[in-house]
């Protein structure tokens, strides 16, 4: 009995350590295969096929949850569910799969008349079957660009609610967004061959709050280590002529909640020639006493301190491991094609007006 009680206590503690937040979409839209119409301002989204339209018109729903501020940096996602209300439909239940879109798209303000099942002329840049953003930005593939690896799937009926369940793939994708990966949202695509099976789902503009989509995300808090700001110049007095410029900046829209960190190295290679390296940008922040690894790229030819080539043309050099002891000291370790180099670094200059320890 004691073992059972102890197990129950442990499970209770684990459960209490998890937090669930309910997120609202930032943009959504419907696209229609038989026209260049859009539905960004509509109360509803459409998915499935309707035989009432020419070419047995396909409908696909686009939806993005790009405001992830309620999920703290360092959180570990454990469950993700997409919840939607079915406001109308025809035909039998249909399987609908959710995929990650791989191109940015625009909601626009197209507001169809009547039931909205055919959309309306694209307005304010709204996405269409052919265009990610009207009037000129085309999808690579008509009908929307998306990763073919399915995230989750559910059967959608003609009424009621539908929950697209949590899967490892869905959790992994949202974890990536939180950690700083590009977030272009989701696309819902019918997996049915039934030519009269279109379903209408509530959009974020729906007059009834109960009909609006939500994303339920459950997570555990990240490490309790103190996050530190790092922007500034760092050097090791024992290695004159070498140094690092650390830049930490707020994430761009759709790039998760973590600050972005980029590090430049200016110094010398194994032959004594000048060497300029630049890191890939990675999500931060630096956490006190914990190592952050950054891939390093050659920022220019040896001895060249001019503007580096475009990122797509930079070649890999190696890695940089950074471990900050506090806001003014830490260890920087380079490891790459020129060998290894360790710096017991101190911050020479910092950005004025920014506190060292970040409250997150």
Rounded mean pLDDT of 237-247?
92
Cβ-based neighbours of 208, under 8 Å, separated by 6 or more: 85, 202
Name which of 28, 206, 30 is nearest 118 in CA terms. 30
Rounded mean pLDDT of 199-228?
90
Q: What is the pLDDT of residue 17?
A: 72
Residue 146 DSSP label: B
Q: What is the pLDDT of residue 314?
A: 83
Beta-bridge partners for 330: 324, 345
Q: What is the pLDDT of residue 116?
A: 72
Residue 354: pLDDT over 60: no
Beta-bridge partners for 218: 20, 79
pLDDT band for position 351 (50/70/90)? low
pLDDT band for position 288 (50/70/90)? confident
Pairwise CA distance, residues 94 & 154, whole Å: 8
What are the tokens at 292? 């952050």
| Omega of the bond leading into 13 within 30 degrees of 0 (cis) | no
Q: What is the pLDDT of residue 300?
A: 60
pLDDT band for position 73 (50/70/90)? confident
Q: Do the strands 120-121 and 94-100 form a parallel or antiparallel pair, or are they unpaired?
A: unpaired
How far, in whole angstroms, is CA 356 from its chain's centroid?
27
**Least confident stretch, 65-74, 136-145, 227-236:** 227-236
Rounded mean pLDDT of 207-218?
97
Q: What is the pLDDT of residue 345?
A: 95
Pairwise CA distance, residues 172 & 164, whole Å: 15
**Least confident stretch, 78-87, 219-228, 233-242, 332-341:** 219-228
Q: Which helix (H) or strand (E) holds 277?
A: strand 274-279
Residue 28: pLDDT over 80: yes
Which range of 3-17, 43-57, 91-105, 223-237 scores highest in mean pLDDT? It is 91-105
Tens digits of residue pLDDT in 300-309: 654 444 444 4
Q: What is the pLDDT of residue 196?
A: 85
Rounded mean pLDDT of 219-223?
80
Q: Residue 144 in 3-state DSSP?
A: coil
Residue 250 DSSP label: P
Rounded mean pLDDT of 224-236?
82
104 φ/ψ angles, rounded to the nearest 5 degrees: -65, 145
More confident residue, 195 or 127: 127
Q: What is the pLDDT of residue 356?
A: 63
Tens digits of residue pLDDT in 82-141: 999 999 988 899 999 999 999 999 999 999 887 778 889 999 999 999 999 999 999 999
Tens digits of residue pLDDT in 41-55: 999 999 999 875 545
| Mean residue pLDDT across the chain | 86
Q: What is the pLDDT of residue 359?
A: 38
Rounded mean pLDDT of 16-33?
92
What are the tokens at 131? 């265009």
Cβ-based neighbours of 356, under 8 Å, separated by 6 or more: 228, 229, 326, 327, 328
Q: What is the pLDDT of residue 169?
A: 95
311 φ/ψ angles, rounded to the nearest 5 degrees: -55, -35
């Amino acid at each position: 009995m004691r073992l059972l009680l102890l197990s129950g206590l442990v499970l209770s503690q684990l459960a209490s350590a998890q937090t669930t937040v309910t997120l609202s979409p930032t943009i959504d839209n419907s696209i229609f295969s038989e026209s260049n119409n859009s539905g960004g301002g509509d109360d509803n989204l459409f998915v499935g096929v309707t035989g009432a339209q020419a070419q047995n018109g396909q409908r696909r729903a686009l939806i993005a949850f790009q405001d992830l501020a309620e999920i703290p940096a360092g959180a570990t996602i454990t469950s993700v569910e997409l919840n939607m209300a079915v406001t109308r439909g025809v035909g039998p239940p249909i399987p609908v799969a959710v995929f990650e879109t791989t191109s940015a798209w625009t909601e626009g303000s197209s507001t169809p008349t009547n039931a909205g099942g055919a959309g309306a002329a694209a307005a304010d840049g709204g996405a269409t079957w052919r265009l990610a953003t009207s009037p000129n930005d085309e999808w690579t593939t008509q009908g929307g660009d998306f990763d073919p690896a399915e995230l989750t799937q559910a059967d959608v009926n003609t009424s009621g609610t539908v929950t697209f369940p949590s899967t490892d793939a869905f959790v992994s994708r949202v974890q990536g967004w939180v950690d700083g990966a590009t977030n272009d949202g989701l696309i819902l695509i019918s997996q049915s061959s039934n030519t009269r099976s279109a379903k209408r789902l509530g959009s974020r503009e729906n007059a009834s709050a109960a009909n609006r989509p939500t994303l339920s995300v459950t997570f555990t808090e990240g490490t309790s280590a103190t996050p530190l700001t790092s922007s500034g110049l760092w050097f090791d007095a024992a290695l004159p002529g070498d140094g690092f410029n650390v830049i930490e900046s707020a994430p761009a829209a759709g790039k998760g909640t973590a600050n972005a960190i980029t590090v430049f190295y200016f110094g010398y290679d194994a032959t004594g020639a000048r060497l300029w390296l630049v890191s890939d940008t990675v999500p931060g922040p630096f956490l006190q006493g914990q190592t952050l690894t950054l891939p390093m790229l050659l920022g220019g030819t040896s001895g060249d301190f001019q503007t580096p080539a475009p990122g797509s043309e930079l070649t890999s050099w190696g890695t940089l491991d950074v471990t900050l002891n506090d806001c003014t000291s830490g260890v920087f370790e380079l490891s790459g094609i020129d060998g290894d180099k360790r710096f017991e670094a101190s911050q020479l200059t910092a950005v004025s007006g920014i506190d060292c320890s970040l409250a997150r």
